[in-house]
A and B are shown apart, each in its own frame.
Chain A
Amino acid sequence: MSILSLKNVVKQYHNHRAVDGVSFEVEKQKIFGLLGPNGAGKTSLIRIITTITGADSGEIYIDGEKLSTHHPKDIGYMPEERGLYKKMKVGEQLLYLSQLKGLSTKEAKENIMHWLNKFEITDWWNKKIEELSKGMQQKIQFVATVVHNPKLIILDEPFTGLDPINTNLIKDEIAQLKANGASIIFSTHRMEQVEEICEDIVLINAGKVVLEGSVSEVKQKFKENQFRIEFKGDRIPDFSGYNIISKDKNSVTIKLNPNTSGNEILKYAVQQGTLITAFNEILPSLNDIFIKQARS
């Protein structure tokens, strides 16, 4: 069952089609990467999902229901361009934002305290936002995004401006939210983060879906039959009959023909008397795939 389902969604701005027939599904309790170069249409798409703007055509379902004006309470959205009211205090700001999501004052206070406790920042309640550092403000923004226990959380570049400690803290919270039943859409340009966090991805370019699937599926699809052999000893094996991508004193990377299997090169290396210490298939990084797809 999917938490979000888009079918042929189109959004046209004046003379520019920002979203051009996009369809994909986000499975429940998964971390889903929404990727694409700048101007690909990610923000337009997110704004449609969060009901900030409407699609010109196509269908959108949240947890099986057609997207409507009551859905914002089920969605937590942390935009890339984000900020807070600088003159407001942390407590009243979070209270205001959670009440806008439909929580009662009592519920809102309980949830806010739960999160402030979790981050060990309960003493910030009466601090003005302008007194906090950028990283501290990010934490408050994260709390504001999840305080109403949304089913679907959309995080657009959530780690920018965070130090490694806080990045890990938020990563752990994302994992925890997922474990508690939430589904997360994660939009970023940082491909190493996508590989680390996401299970499924969709890549959008020029308003269209160019690639989708689980991270491992996508990598399998784009692999180039490259293998890396590591060895030790004085005898450097002779791989001159193969297409060598790179080599050094203790390793060599070889690209095989599409119909040649890895076993063959391994067998050849063993026959040569090489002392093999490691052998693995090289899968492309998402970064490489992203660049390749975005350019094409």
Chain B
Amino acid sequence: MSMDKLWLIAKREYLVRVKRKAFIIATLLTPIGLGLLMFVSGYLAAKGGSSSKKILVKDDSGVFENAKKTSKLYTFDFSEAPVDRLIEDYKTQGYDLFLHIPEFKDNKLTRQQVDYFTTEKLGITAIEGIERNIENAFKEYKISVSGIDRGLYDSFKMTVALENGAKDEDGGQEDTSGKLSIIIGTVLGGAMGFVMYMVIFIYGGMVMRSVMEEKINRIVEVVISSVKPTTLMLGKILGVGGVGLTQLAIWLILIPLVTIGVTSVMGIQQDPAQLQELAAQANGLPQDLDDFNLAQILDEVKKLNWWLIIPSFVVFFFGGYFIYSSMFAAIGSAIGDDMGEGQQLMFPIIIPVILAFVMMQGTIQNPNGGMAIFGSLFPLTSPIIMPSRLAFDPPLWQVFLSIAILVLSCWFFAWLAGRIYRVGILMYGKKISFKELGKWLFYKA
């Protein structure tokens, strides 16, 4: 294969795309759009919208009325007027919602029904938020009337922290399976898997369109009278890969900048307590990262084995992109000008990618389970699954075995795709089936 020509083709593919207005716009607009989205959603959350509500309450026993309320999302006002009148009037008095808390008769009751009246449909987060406010009031009330010492009551609460007790060679705590590192691993693994998933579809699709374009334009025969079809295909994959790297690199710089910019602007406007309450409401989970401070998180991030993670991610990035874009190139050559007819040919590409993406969710939950190990070795899923495991310190032999299988598979898929491609690009006006593609593999060059 002529390296000069491979380089020439890759250069053209790269420059043609990078110079396009659509590329420049997409590359710049994505971070800006993301920032705008953050800003708008933050703004809406801060400026009320669904989250900040004025609520009129008729509390028959006064339990809630007398309790200390800390919510920043809800303003509660109380009225002694008859319920029927309040149901009719709350709206005209400027309230979003009317709550009726019936008489609380028995301290032993563990369930109390509260009726609400509103013209708008309440979301689950709002309902749960209001419930939590009233529940807290009842809890405090029950503690005070039962005569239990507050300190005693608080001591009933118990938090268990499951930490890895194994020591490393230096006698220090081995951090890699600590809770924080698991949280960080989950976030990082999910992010890396997701990036791979996007890369395969965006840039693999770009390679496919490029192949189809050459076939439809009828330029391909002129080009392959100068270079081997495989050189043309590989040049395309390299060039588009370069476009992908450029775009990702720009995003890697711009997205954090935009994020920092937006959060610093939003930060001034927003009350952190309100944000926290919103977050707690939104996922209903214990606020995982609230248990840790920023210094701890940074410390834990620094402790990750970046010398393994970054180079391995780069290898899986290229390997995954290469395997899938070869397949996209082969399919593109077979589809030609009839995109509709070619849809079915896409299944062998789409199915493993989606499968890998689904498997990734399971892998993050159980990074050393059987599915995770299989998924990170099988070459069609490993480019997504292995990066999602990297932050969990998988056994080194698995990483290297996975890379070895990946590299061999790259070679195999390049060969396979090349065989289909060289026939496909010169084939016009024929409906292509999988059987037909199979035959092409055995055509002599």
- Residues of A whose CB lies within 8 Å of any CB of B are 12-14, 47, 50-54, 56, 69, 72-73, 75, 77-79, 81-88, 96-97, 99-101, 141, 144
Contacting pair B222 A85 (CB below 8 A): no
Contacting pair B439 A77 (CB below 8 A): no
Q: Which 8 A-B pairs have the closest CB atoms?
A: A83-B218, A83-B217, A100-B226, A79-B221, A77-B225, A50-B225, A81-B218, A83-B219
The chain A residue sitting closest to B440, CB to CB, is: A14
The residues in B between 216 and 247 inclusive whose CB is less than 8 angstroms from any CB of A are 217-219, 221-228
A132 CB, min distance to chain B CBs, angstroms: 14
Contacting pair B222 A77 (CB below 8 A): yes
Bound form: Cα–Cα A56–B445 in Å: 9
The residues in B between 83 and 137 inclusive whose CB is less than 8 angstroms from any CB of A are none
- Asked whether B8 is an interface residue with its Cβ less than 8 Å from the other chain, the reply is yes
B211 CB, min distance to chain A CBs, angstroms: 13
Q: Mark B425-445, 1 if CB is under 8 A from A, else 0.
A: 010100000000001000111
- Asked whether B260 is an interface residue with its Cβ less than 8 Å from the other chain, the reply is no
Which residues of the partner chain A approach B214 to less than 8 Å between Cβ atoms? 85
Which residues of the partner chain A approach B225 to less than 8 Å between Cβ atoms? 50-52, 72, 75, 77, 79
Bound form: Cα–Cα A267–B335 in Å: 69
Which residues of the partner chain A approach B8 to less than 8 Å between Cβ atoms? 96, 99-100
Contacting pair A84 B219 (CB below 8 A): yes
Determine which of A14, A52, A69, A96 lies in contact with B443 in the assembled complex, contact meaning CB atoms within 8 Å: A14
A115 CB, min distance to chain B CBs, angstroms: 16
Total interface residues on B, CB under 8 Å, equals 24
B231 CB, min distance to chain A CBs, angstroms: 10
The chain B residue sitting closest to A76, CB to CB, is: B225
Contacting pair B444 A84 (CB below 8 A): no
Which residues of the partner chain A approach B226 to less than 8 Å between Cβ atoms? 72-73, 97, 100-101
Which residues of the partner chain B approach A12 to less than 8 Å between Cβ atoms? 444
Given contacts A52-B426, A54-B445, contact A84 B217 (CB under 8 A): yes
A286 CB, min distance to chain B CBs, angstroms: 27
Bound form: Cα–Cα A86–B225 in Å: 19
Which residues of the partner chain B approach A54 to less than 8 Å between Cβ atoms? 444-445
Which residues of the partner chain B approach A97 to less than 8 Å between Cβ atoms? 222-223, 226
The chain A residue sitting closest to B214, CB to CB, is: A85
- Residues of B whose CB lies within 8 Å of any CB of A are 5, 8-9, 12, 16, 20, 214, 217-219, 221-228, 426, 428, 439, 443-445
Which residues of the partner chain A approach B20 to less than 8 Å between Cβ atoms? 87
The chain A residue sitting closest to B9, CB to CB, is: A100
Which residues of the partner chain B approach A69 to less than 8 Å between Cβ atoms? 228
Contacting pair B222 A56 (CB below 8 A): no
Which residues of the partner chain B approach A14 to less than 8 Å between Cβ atoms? 439, 443
Given contacts A83-B217, A96-B8, A100-B8, contact A144 B222 (CB under 8 A): yes
Bound form: Cα–Cα A154–B436 in Å: 31
Which residues of the partner chain B approach A83 to less than 8 Å between Cβ atoms? 217-219
Give the interface SS of chain B, mostly helix, strand, loop or mixed. loop
Bound form: Cα–Cα A23–B428 in Å: 28
Which residues of the partner chain A approach B224 to less than 8 Å between Cβ atoms? 52
B227 CB, min distance to chain A CBs, angstroms: 6
Contacting pair B16 A56 (CB below 8 A): no
Given contacts A51-B225, A75-B225, contact A96 B12 (CB under 8 A): yes
Contacting pair B227 A100 (CB below 8 A): yes
A135 CB, min distance to chain B CBs, angstroms: 16
Which residues of the partner chain B approach A13 to less than 8 Å between Cβ atoms? 443
B405 CB, min distance to chain A CBs, angstroms: 32
Which residues of the partner chain A approach B223 to less than 8 Å between Cβ atoms? 97, 100
Which residues of the partner chain B approach A52 to less than 8 Å between Cβ atoms? 221, 224-225, 426
The chain A residue sitting closest to B229, CB to CB, is: A52
The chain B residue sitting closest to A148, CB to CB, is: B226
Which residues of the partner chain A approach B219 to less than 8 Å between Cβ atoms? 82-85
B1 CB, min distance to chain A CBs, angstroms: 10
Contacting pair B217 A85 (CB below 8 A): yes
Bound form: Cα–Cα A50–B226 in Å: 8
Contacting pair B428 A81 (CB below 8 A): yes
B36 CB, min distance to chain A CBs, angstroms: 30
Which residues of the partner chain B approach A50 to less than 8 Å between Cβ atoms? 225
Given contacts A51-B225, A52-B224, A52-B426, contact A82 B218 (CB under 8 A): yes
Which residues of the partner chain A approach B443 to less than 8 Å between Cβ atoms? 13-14
Contacting pair B221 A100 (CB below 8 A): no
Contacting pair A100 B5 (CB below 8 A): yes
26 sample A-B contacts, Cβ–Cβ < 8 Å, listed by A number? A14-B439, A14-B443, A47-B426, A53-B445, A54-B444, A56-B444, A72-B226, A73-B226, A75-B225, A77-B225, A78-B222, A79-B222, A81-B218, A81-B221, A81-B428, A82-B222, A84-B217, A84-B219, A85-B16, A85-B217, A87-B16, A88-B16, A96-B8, A96-B12, A97-B222, A97-B226
Extra inter-chain contacts (5) besides given A52-B225, A79-B225, CB under 8 Å: A54-B444, A85-B217, A97-B223, A100-B9, A100-B226
B238 CB, min distance to chain A CBs, angstroms: 15
Which residues of the partner chain A approach B439 to less than 8 Å between Cβ atoms? 14
Determine which of A47, A77, A86, A144 lies in contact with B217 in the assembled complex, contact meaning CB atoms within 8 Å: A86
A285 CB, min distance to chain B CBs, angstroms: 31
Which residues of the partner chain A approach B218 to less than 8 Å between Cβ atoms? 79, 81-83
